[in-house]
Amino acid sequence: MNDQQMIDQVKTLLKPAEPPPYLRVKVSRMIARSGRPRARISTLATVGATSAVGILALLVGSVVSFNGEPPAASVQAAEFLQRAADAARADRTPAPRADQFILTTTKSFFPVVGQDDLATSLTRSWMSVDGTHDGQIWVSDPVPGERQSTVIPGCRDGRAAEWGPNGTLLSSTRQCKPGRAYLDDLPTGATSMLNYLRKMSGVAGPSDEQTFANVGVLIQSGYLPAQSRAALYEAATKIPGVVASPTLTDAAGRVGVGVSLAGQIDRYDLIFDSQTYRFLGWQVVPVAGNLVRQSRREVVLDVVIVDRVGEVP
């Protein structure tokens, strides 16, 4: 996923308003939400204690099918994604209340012209479960002259506050549709989810690379209920060229399993915990050149359900 896709994702959330240039800069560095929050006072069960390295090793040379159909992805990737789907279905985290917020803490790593090391930025986003309450985006290192925190106005009775040029809220309002953080209207079957991913690109006949990138966009776009999250992982098995790497280290130094698809220019990686199958983050790595200095990476440090904006458990 590139920066423009991230901007477009947040603009979709805020339709039909056009965020001011100040806010577009900020949200382009933000990962919207990941797909598996834990309740504030409860801990998600750990599912699948088997090491993914062992799983992938056992699969070499085996034949796997799902619902009688062979996967388009590699056997290793398909098996891992199916286990991630099974883990999602076993998740019994209660649905959040409409008046709560999904707090996502992420860290971005991105190249800067004239700088050898990747720059970093920590982001916290409090997004309204039902889209009617004011949320907030906080960044650790705002660009000079910009605000560190920006309110995401809730949509109530079809109206939301407008932004001023500096990101402050005005007394005037605009038409809106609630941008819900709890995505309980997504498909729950693999085939219908695959079709949904293809339509997300907004073009006829999207490439496999676009479709796979949309898997990451959807994981990050809100709190997916268990059945939809499972369908998403199963849909990814139907995308040709998807492969798995048993040991892939994310930008935070955590070792996980990478599920990847390489295009002609970039390789898009989704990284999962090898035992719990929790989504750890994504990275876009050029297939040639200086891979470290040119890569863009995002890691998910925490996803929790909280009662109010600004709350950090």
Rounded distance between C-alpha atoms, residue 285 and residue 294, angstroms: 7
User: What residues does 150 pair with on adjacent strands?
Assistant: 137
Q: Is residue 9 part of a domain?
A: yes
Rounded distance between C-alpha atoms, residue 309 and residue 275, angstroms: 32
Q: Are residues 87 and 217 in the same domain?
A: yes
Last residue of a domain, one of 155, 175, 195: 175
Full DSSP string of 241-290: T-EEEEEEE-TTS-EEEEEEEE-SSEEEEEEE-TTT--EEEEEEEESSS-
Last residue of a domain, one of 152, 175, 198: 175
Last residue of a domain, one of 119, 153, 175: 175
Rounded distance between C-alpha atoms, residue 291 and residue 285, angstroms: 6
Q: Are residues 31 and 62 in the same domain?
A: no
Report the number of distinct structural domains present in the chain: 2
pLDDT per residue of the chain (313 residues) written in tens, 0 to 9: 444 444 444 444 444 344 544 444 444 434 333 333 443 322 222 223 233 333 333 333 333 444 555 567 789 999 999 999 999 999 999 999 999 999 999 998 887 777 777 788 899 999 999 999 999 999 998 777 778 899 999 999 999 999 887 778 899 999 999 999 999 999 999 999 999 999 998 888 899 999 999 998 898 888 999 999 999 999 999 999 999 999 998 888 899 999 999 988 888 999 999 999 999 998 888 877 655 556 778 888 888 999 999 999 8
Q: Is residue 22 part of a domain?
A: yes
User: What residues does 174 pair with on adjacent strands?
Assistant: 160
- pLDDT at position 185, please? 94
Q: Are residues 211 and 266 in the same domain?
A: yes
Domain that holds residue 167: 3-36+96-175
Q: Is 218 helix (H, G, I), strand (E, B) or coil?
A: helix
- pLDDT at position 6, please? 43
Give the CA dihedral 172, 30, 33, 39, nearest 10 degrees. Answer: -90
CB 239 within 8 A of CB 260: no
Q: Is residue 42 part of a domain?
A: no
Q: Are residues 275 and 224 in the same domain?
A: yes
- pLDDT at position 99, please? 97
Q: Are residues 136 and 225 in the same domain?
A: no
Distance set, CA 303 to CA 124, 163, 202, 226, 296 (Å): 10, 27, 29, 15, 21
- pLDDT at position 71, please? 64
User: What residues does 279 pair with on adjacent strands?
Assistant: 272
Give the CA dihedral 216, 220, 223, 225, nearest 10 degrees. Answer: 0
- pLDDT at position 272, please? 95
Q: Are residues 191 and 103 in the same domain?
A: no
Q: Are residues 192 and 207 in the same domain?
A: yes
Give the CA dihedral 308, 97, 172, 15, nearest 10 degrees. Answer: 120
- pLDDT at position 273, please? 94
Q: Are residues 118 and 66 in the same domain?
A: no
Q: Are residues 202 and 110 in the same domain?
A: no
Q: Are residues 192 and 89 in the same domain?
A: yes
